Amino acid sequence: MIDFTNIGNVTCTLYGYPGVSLAGGKPVTQIGAAATRSPVTPKALVTLAPRAVANALLQIVDAGNYPTSTCGPTTADYLQIYPPNQTTPIYLSYKTQACSKPAHILTVSVVMPGAGSSS
């Protein structure tokens, strides 16, 4: 789960999907394909009071499941996350094997109210 917390002093809204990809290098750049959007839950406006939380489910497939020729294995150091309708990413430290070729190993849901749960 990816949690989004309103750290401001006024209410804000989120709508739709975050942009998520793996990233690495110096300077940090995106590795491979961005997350595919899961259409299971319809988009809805999420209103967050100060300190309120919303979440999006992120599913990650093991890059080792793909043949080397399809994946182009490499190491990622971060999750690159764009909150919905934002153009500045947040980098979350996350070291994992990634695919430099456009194999789809990430899937993300729409943003929903409340904190996520790993259970």
Residue 84: φ, ψ to 5°: -50, 135
Over residues 68-95, the pLDDT tens digits come to 999 999 999 999 999 999 999 999 999 9
Contact call for residues 20 and 108 (beta carbons, < 8 A): yes
Residue 74: name the closest of 32, 114, 40 by CA: 32
Rounded Cα gap, residues 117 and 119, in angstroms: 5
- What pTM was estimated for this model as a whole? 0.90
Over residues 32-68, the pLDDT tens digits come to 999 999 999 999 999 999 999 999 999 999 999 999 9
Cα→Cα distances 104→33, 63, 65, 119, Å: 6, 9, 11, 24
Give the helix/strand (H/E) hosting 71. Answer: helix 68-71
